Structure 1
Amino acid sequence: MTAAVDTAAQPAAEAPALPAAGSSFYTAMRLLPKERREAMYAVYAFCRAVDDVADDGGPAELRAAELERWRADIDALYAGRPAARVRDLVGPVKEYDLKREDFHAVIDGMAMDAFTDIVAPDAATLDLYCDRVASAVGRLSVRIFGMPEEDGIRLAWHQGRALQLTNILRDIDEDAERGRLYLPREPLAAIGLDNPTPAAAMAHPRIGEVCAALAKEAEGHYRATWEIIRRNPRRATKAARLMAAAYRLYLVALLRRGWAAPRARVKPAKLALIGVALRHGIV
């Protein structure tokens, strides 16, 4: 799974999952007031649990059944009959008017990865995937942050795609090793790759053109993200600002490294990440 909220396996019966300490997501959530932070942790735990099903849930029929159980649990939550594993969402759903369709969209996004490996999706399918695994999480998040409705939805749309496209570009080689290729079909066809395997795409001498085009698309979403952030109250955009700034460091590092093989795994400089945390962690 190459989702905007990075996750790791944890049995559903354990205490609610928390983001990895030191991650940009963890740092961003620590900026929130206690009630909003705990609401975000509840959403994170849900996303992590359904991601675990998609990636590590056993045979396809078991994954399908478990994802259906999660859908049923969300429906029961909204009907006033919450199962134990979604009980931490009761308060956030009521307090912040979280939408059932966004929880369902997250499950649908995980299902896109759960049963067949995604290989060179067309542009519309890739955009749908980004919406489900990233922007849907964003729509839940901006309500908890306290953003105005219209700009909150716009921010989720652009920032989700910016973060997800960055993840895709960062993880292209690791995803290829798992038989996955999230780069869109149309630009791959333009360089002569029709129905490519992930390995063939990674070895193609012009793959950098496809990656550069996707990076340009991500940059456009980052610009739109910052336009929305700047016109909204700082208290409601603090976490979004930190996430946008931190993730863009990855994109900058990828562009600096380039796309020619062998592609070393990139990680922003620690001082740069600290600078982002200091700049955007101050009210």
Structure 2
Amino acid sequence: MPFAPSPPLPSQAPAPGHYENFPVASWLCPPRLRPPIAAIYHFARTADDMADEGNALPEARLADLVDYRADLDAVFAGAAPSPRWPQVFGPLAAQAHAFALPHAPLADLLDAFAQDVAFTRHGRSYADRAELLDYCRRSADPIGRLLLHLYGVQDAQALRQSDAICSALQLINFWQDLSVDLPRGRRYLPLADCAAHGLAPEDFDRFAPLGDAPPPPAALALVAGQVQWARERMAQGAALVHRLPGRIGWELRLVVQGGLAILDKIEAQGFDSFRRRPTVGKADAPRLLWRALRM
């Protein structure tokens, strides 16, 4: 399931598990904040795996997410959660108490995960950009808000900028992962944008990784428009890097530049991420650091 608070960066130490794009255990993170960030990470990773990994049927995934949500609600009500996920809710309960973590962003993540299961189950696409951004509001924006909470930054402008960065990163993850998502029935290209280019959802089956034909110019133009949208969304929030002090500001600079680097790579391969997934690796580190310094 796409979820992208930040692209993988050379600054990150190996994170537990495999929840990609989450800034866990970065050397830029103050030591006192590593336990709550790790607790949030494990909460989100477990839920994401529940919704996305293995061979469970959609009904079972949704039922597990309901139970998981009940345990989350119990933790925030001061009650004991079930014994199913002690490695998640034990640390989360402790860190929620220690840092007064808000309940709503964590609940929003679960709502988004359940929506993703339901959309994929029914082969449903997002009608337009507004509907897709509403999904991003619950699937990505909560992570930025939780991190700002931990750093004691809560003013309205910072929250808006954080939301813009996080939703941009989610969009970048969508356009980066077309070669992975389309064969699995995940459709994030907005229908209104597809129609504007003369495309219907079934058209993508012809030039996804298992298809025979290369993407037509209309499909490449569609992705080019999505890339530009993500760039614009990122630009709306990028000034936040100058508002945050010390380590978190530098972490965010690298996050922003990592996302923009993925967009550069999509553009460099002719906007054809239908057949090849672009990535950022160690070789890109010097350029990312240089761009971060110049922000």
Give TM-score scaled by structure 1 length: 0.84
Deviations 1:185-208 (A, max 9, x none): 111011222453541475443111
- Which residue in 2 is equivalent to 1:11? none
Q: 2:232 aligns with which of 211, 220, 224?
A: 220
Given that residues 178 and 277 in structure 2 are in contact (C-alpha distance below 8 angstroms), is that contact kept between their aligned partners in structure 1? Answer: no
- Which residue in 1 is equivalent to 2:168? 162
Pair 1:56-2:53 in alignment:
yes
Pairwise CA RMSD: 2.8
Greater RCO, 1 or 2 (C-alpha within 8 Å, sep 6+)? 2
- Which residue in 2 is equivalent to 1:12? none
**Distance in 2 separating the partners of 1:195 and 1:37:** 42
- Give the direction of change, closer, same or farther, for the CA distance of 1:90–1:275 in structure 2 (3 Å limit): farther
- Give the direction of change, closer, same or farther, for the CA distance of 1:237–1:273 in structure 2 (3 Å limit): same
Q: Residue type matched to 1:128 in 2?
A: D
Superposition map of 1:255-266 within 5 A = 255-260=267-272, 263-266=275-278
Q: 1:207 aligns with which of 187, 211, 219?
A: 219
- Which residue in 1 is equivalent to 2:89? 86
Given that residues 253 and 292 in structure 2 are in contact (C-alpha distance below 8 angstroms), is that contact kept between their aligned partners in structure 1? Answer: yes
- Which residue in 1 is equivalent to 2:63? 65
Q: 1:174 aligns with which of 153, 169, 180?
A: 180
Q: 2:34 aligns with which of 17, 34, 37?
A: 37
- Give the direction of change, closer, same or farther, for the CA distance of 1:49–1:274 in structure 2 (3 Å limit): farther
- Give the direction of change, closer, same or farther, for the CA distance of 1:200–1:262 in structure 2 (3 Å limit): closer
For the residue of structure 1 that corresponds to 2:186, the secondary structure is coil
Superposition map of 1:222-237 within 5 A = 222-237=234-249
- Which residue in 2 is equivalent to 1:3? 3
For structure 2, which runs of at least 5 residues remain unmatched after alignment? 7-14, 209-214
Identity %: 28
**Distance in 2 separating the partners of 1:51 and 1:27:** 16
In the TM superposition, residue 131 of structure 1 has moved relative to its aligned partner by: 1.4
- Which residue in 1 is equivalent to 2:212? none
**How many residues align structurally?**
270
**Distance in 2 separating the partners of 1:78 and 1:245:** 35
**Distance in 2 separating the partners of 1:235 and 1:270:** 21
In the TM superposition, residue 99 of structure 1 has moved relative to its aligned partner by: 1.7
Give TM-score scaled by structure 2 length: 0.81
- Which residue in 1 is equivalent to 2:211? none
Pair 1:105-2:117 in alignment:
no
- Which residue in 2 is equivalent to 1:248? 260
Deviations 1:147-200 (A, max 9, x none): 343244223311111111111111111111112221111110112224535414
- Give the direction of change, closer, same or farther, for the CA distance of 1:61–1:271 in structure 2 (3 Å limit): closer
Given that residues 3 and 170 in structure 2 are in contact (C-alpha distance below 8 angstroms), is that contact kept between their aligned partners in structure 1? Answer: yes
